[in-house]
Amino acid sequence: MKSVWQDDTKLPVFPELENNVKADVLIIGGGITGILTAYFLHQNGVKYILAEKNRICSGTTQNTTAKITFQHGLIYQKILKSAGTEAARKYLEANKKAFDKYAEMCINIKCNYEIKDNFIYSVNDRNQLENEINALDKISCNAEFCENLPIPINTVGAVKIPNQAQFDPLKFISSFAGTLNIYENTFVREMAGNTAITDKCRIKADKVIVTTHFPFINKHGSYFLKLYQHRSYVIALENAPDVNGMYVDENHTGFSFRNYKNLLLVGGGGHRTGESGGNWNKLRNFAKLHYPNAAEKYHWAAQDCMSLDGIPYIGKYSGNTPNLYTASGFNKWGMTSAMTAAMILSDMVIDKHNDFADVFNPSRNIIKPQLFINGGKSIKNLITPTAKRCPHMGCALKWNSAEHSWDCPCHGSRFDDTGKVLDNPANGDLK
């Protein structure tokens, strides 16, 4: 199982850290968020280290569908209702700034960067689409209502934001990562204050940024309550149409579409990690029906952290950890969210004011309906009797027959059939 990006790009290789070291800033996690944060700190002359447990980009980054857009589902009507006009405007402006930074960087990078319109469609709720148009109008964002989309789904329309972008994330990262101070195969198992403990050494830092997808330090921030994880699946088809845009269902279990070179990427089949879903079978059945002449060339799966309110958690890990920071909960919009996070975090650790940091504050109010859903799922799986238990917090693991893995329904940790950890927050293998 390999994504099209993995097959198309050779990433630089970095050494393992074997000796005790000291840095001003330690970044834990070598996905796109951590690497972009390192890039900005490097530009600012900060003494930093990035520690990655495996190879860089070996997690969610290599499995994205790589849409660069500030249109994140139907988020703006939700923010207007829950946090007000100023928060919605700041969320938009932060992601526009991230979008513009990609555009600036990609001018000199061969990464298949292409300008494409983005569409969020619905199969049954036109009112939600119209509400999103109204919300975007209130914060002065150009959007329009569209019908008759070039995808084989009966929709009630879509919200279109023109001139968004798509790219190859690994080609993008490989163009500059080699200049950064990165160590691979350097697994931070635990933290002792501001000292990271790996299998071979200790890394002491004045400030620590955790960009491990799901924050792995349990004793701060209550991320085990604030986040859950969602799996989604992708197939890449040859001899399928060019849809000339990026299309995403407003429902997390729906389909997404975009082209890459001569391939059509179809995503969907999603489900909460540890629960059942359509996976690749749903996509293959869809392709067989609607693209009967197409041939599958790649298939892969992604995992996303979902926040309580649809807004990522970017900033101080908790209210009582002044030198510990994190970024998570990107809600399937990881490309612009990663850039937004990197820009905010790199400002925060050098004590530079960032106009948008307050919107993403991880310590904001958590009393949301999703909190009680997450809590109920955790209680149910904590009391479920089974031999296989997640080492993260002891939840019952469920067998994922599509991917041959043991998955945690509570917080999304995953393990292969031999017990080796695949996805965090678990920080070790099954015993």
Domain layout of the chain by residue ranges: 4-64+171-226+309-360, 369-422
Sign of the CA dihedral running 338, 306, 72, 67 = positive
Tokens, residue 189: 């198992």
In this structure, the chain runs to a length of 431
Q: What's the pLDDT band for 273 if we cut at 50, 70, 90?
A: very high
Radius of gyration of the chain, Cα coordinates, nearest whole angstrom: 21
Strand order in the sheet with 398-400: 398-400, 405-407, 414-416, 421-423
Please answer whether residues 4 and 62 qualify as being in contact, where contact means their C-beta atoms are separated by less than 8 angstroms: no
CA 27 to chain centre: 17
Cβ–Cβ under 8 Å, residues 60 and 243 = no
Check whether 100 has a pLDDT greater than 90: yes
CATH fold of 4-64+171-226+309-360: FAD/NAD(P)-binding domain (3.50.50)
pLDDT of residue 128 exceeding 90: yes
State mean pLDDT over 59-73: 97
Residue with tokens 């003494």: 47
A 10 A CB-CB count for 417 gives 11
Asked if pLDDT for residue 200 goes beyond 90, the answer is: yes
271 compared with 252, residue with greater pLDDT: 271
Reported as a pLDDT band with limits 50, 70 and 90, residue 394 is very high
CA distances for 210 relative to 12, 37, 342, angstroms: 22, 11, 11
pTM for the complete prediction? 0.96
Q: Is the pLDDT reported for residue 246 higher than 90?
A: yes
Whether the predicted pLDDT of 253 surpasses 90: no
- The CATH label, of 3.30.70.3270, 2.60.40.10, 2.102.10.10, 3.40.605.10, for the domain at 369-422 is 2.102.10.10
Q: How confident is the model at residue 252 (pLDDT cuts 50, 70, 90)?
A: confident
Mean pLDDT computed over 304-331: 97
Mean per-residue pLDDT for 12-29?
Answer: 98
- pLDDT tier for residue 386 given thresholds of 50, 70 and 90: confident
Per-residue pLDDT of 68-92, as tens digits, reads: 999 999 999 999 999 999 999 999 9
Per-residue exposure over 90-128, b if at least 16 CB sit within 10 Å of its own CB, e if not = bbbbbbebbbebbeebbeebebbbbebbbbbbbeeeeeb
Instruction: Report, as an integer, the average pLDDT of 114-130.
Output: 97
The span from the CA of 80 to the CA of 340, in Å, is 20
